[in-house]
Chain A
C-alpha cells in the first residue's frame, strides 16, 4: 500500500505536505509549463498588498555561496487585480490556494484580508510579517512579539480563513514570537523567511543589490531553518510549515523530523522547476522504504536522548 501523504494543515485539507514557498513561484503559471500544479499540496501565492507595488530597482538579486540574496521589494499588482486576473486561473487547479499577504500598516493587512474574505476559492492566508525588503512595515511587525501579536489579532478579527503566520528569523528569540502569534489566534506558522544579508562588489566597491540589503535564501540557510523549526515545535501546538533551503528529498525529511507538518520549497524552484513534484515522489518512496504508513508518523521524530 502506498503511504498516506495527506495532511490537515490548520483546517486546510492537502493531498500531500509539499507546497511552494511564497515568492519565486509567482502565482504558479510560469511553472505550469513544467509541472502539473494540481499535484502540489497547496499553492502559496507571492505576496499581495493592497495597492500595486512597483518593487525595488535592479539589481535585485545576486548569488552567494550555496544561496542567493534578493531584494525584489514585493512587486505585485495589488489585491484587486490579483482577484480579477490571477485567481480565476488558479481556481482551475484542484489544489488549495494560500494567499500570502503583506502590508506596511495594520490597516493594510486588515484591508487585504477583508477583501479576500469575500472571494471564492481561497483556502488560507499566510501573513507575511517577516519580509525584510520593505523599509517600513514587514520586518517591524515580525521582529517583536508585541507588534506581531497585534497584527495577528487585528487580522483574526476580519477573517475566518485558516491564518498562517510567516515568521522572520531575524530576531533574537523566534520561539517567543511563535508563542505570541499562537496566542493571538494564528492557526499555523511558516518558518523561516529569508535572513538579512549584504554583498559588496570588490571591483566597484558598491553593494551588489540596489537596495543594499537583501534576504538570503537557498541551501546555505537550511541548518538555521531546521534549528528554528525544532525549537518552535517544542513550544507551540499549532502546525508548522517548514522552509528554508530545501533542495532535495533528504532536506525535506529533515524538516519533518524537526517537527514540521508540511514543507515549502522556494529558491530551489529557480534551479529545477520540477523540484516540488520530485520531492513529493521522493517522500512517498522514502516512507515506503522505511515502512511508514503515513507522513505524520515522522513529524517531530528526531531522536534526542
Chain B
C-alpha cells in the first residue's frame, strides 16, 4: 500500500454526472488487482475531511489506471472539477480484490448501477483468461447502463434490466438471475451494486449452490484496517470492509 501524489491524466464525462478519472501512478497501477480500491483525498477543503474510497475501474498498463464515479456529494463534486496535470493525494491499492479460481470456465457478472465500476477491470482479466463471460446489467434508465456497447461485444450474452423499462427487462437485474444461471451454467458469480441486489444475488447463488463473490460498500475512515468504522456483519463477527473485503464470499455475509 502506498501513499502517493498521483497525476491526473484525463477526466472524461461518460454520462450525465458520471466521470472517469485516469491517474498516472506506477506504484498503484503496477500492483492493482480487480476489486481493489484507492482512498482519495478530494482536494484541500477542510470542511470535509475524510478520504473517499473508489474501486479500481480499469488498469490500463503498468503506469495508469482509472476510477469511475458519479457526483453525489462534496468529495465527488471536487473530483468533477479536476483538470489534467493536477495532483491528488491517494493511497492504494487497498483491500482484497476478486479471486479468479484456476479452471474457471464460465462466469456471470452482475452489475447494478455504479456497481459496474470494479467489474470492468475484472471483465478485462476474465477476457484475457478466455473464460466464458455472461453479464447481467441493471440500472435506473437506459442512459445509466454504462459501457453497454462494450459489454455487449465482450460478453457471450448480456441480460439487461432497467427500472423504467427503457431497455431490456423492466425491473431489477436480479429478476433475470434464475433464468441466466439455468442458461449459462456458471461456475462462479461476481457481483457489485446496491446491497439489496447483492443480498438477492447471495440468495439465488446459494439456491443453485454456485459460489458468489460480492463487493461490499461501506463508509470508510482510515481504509487501512485500523479505525474499525467500516465493519459489516459476517459469520465470524464483524469484519472490516476495507482490509478483510471489499470482496467477500457471499455466504460469509450476514445479510
Contacts and interface: CB of A to CB of B under 8 A. Distances in A.
A54 B238 contact: yes
A-B complex: 6 closest residue pairs judged by Cβ atoms: A26-B226, A61-B229, A30-B226, A24-B227, A30-B224, A270-B222
Contacts of A219: 46, 49
Interface in A13-64: 23-26, 30-31, 33-34, 54-55, 57-63
B231 A55 contact: yes
A68 B50 CA distance: 8
B221 A274 contact: no
Contacts of B218: 58-59
Contacts of A68: 49-50, 221
A72 interface: yes
Contacts of B41: 271-272
A59 B50 contact: no
A33 B227 CA distance: 15
Contact of B237 (A34, A54, A66, A272): A54
A61 B219 contact: yes
A137 interface: no
B165 interface: no
Contact of B3 (A62, A65, A67, A273): A273
Nearest to B75: A63
A72 B237 contact: no
Given A61-B219, A61-B221, A271 B51 contact: yes
A62 B50 CA distance: 10
Contact of B224 (A62, A66, A273): A273
B147 interface: no
B148 interface: no
Contact of A271 (B47, B49, B226, B243): B49
Contacts of B227: 23-24, 26, 61, 70, 72, 270
A21 to B, nearest CB: 12
A218 interface: yes
16 contacts: A23-B227, A30-B243, A31-B224, A55-B228, A59-B219, A60-B229, A61-B227, A65-B47, A66-B46, A70-B221, A70-B229, A72-B227, A75-B228, A270-B227, A271-B51, A273-B224
Contacts of B243: 30
Interface string A244-267: 000100000000000000000001
B1 interface: yes
Q: Which of B3, B41, B222 has the most CB of A within 10 A?
A: B222
**Chain B interface residue count: which class?**
20 to 34
A218 to B, nearest CB: 6
B51 A270 contact: yes
Nearest to B221: A270
Contacts of B223: 270
A65 B228 CA distance: 21
A269 interface: yes
A273 B228 contact: no
Interface of A: 23-26, 30-31, 33-34, 54-55, 57-63, 65-68, 70, 72, 75, 218-219, 247, 267, 269-274
Contacts of A58: 218, 230-233, 238
A271 B231 CA distance: 18
Contacts of A72: 227-229
Nearest to A34: B3
B1 A63 contact: no
Contacts of B194: none
B50 A270 contact: yes
Interface in B226-255: 226-233, 237-238, 243
A58 B234 CA distance: 12
B208 interface: no
A26 B5 CA distance: 25
B92 to A, nearest CB: 12
A274 B3 contact: yes
A33 B228 contact: no
Interface string B21-58: 00000000000000000000100001111110000000
A61 B229 CA distance: 6
B168 interface: no
Nearest to B227: A24
A26 B50 CA distance: 18
Nearest to B74: A63
Nearest to A62: B219
Contact of A24 (B3, B89, B221, B232): B221
Contacts of A274: 3
Q: Which of A25, A33, A63 has the most CB of B within 10 A?
A: A63
B90 to A, nearest CB: 12
Contacts of A62: 219
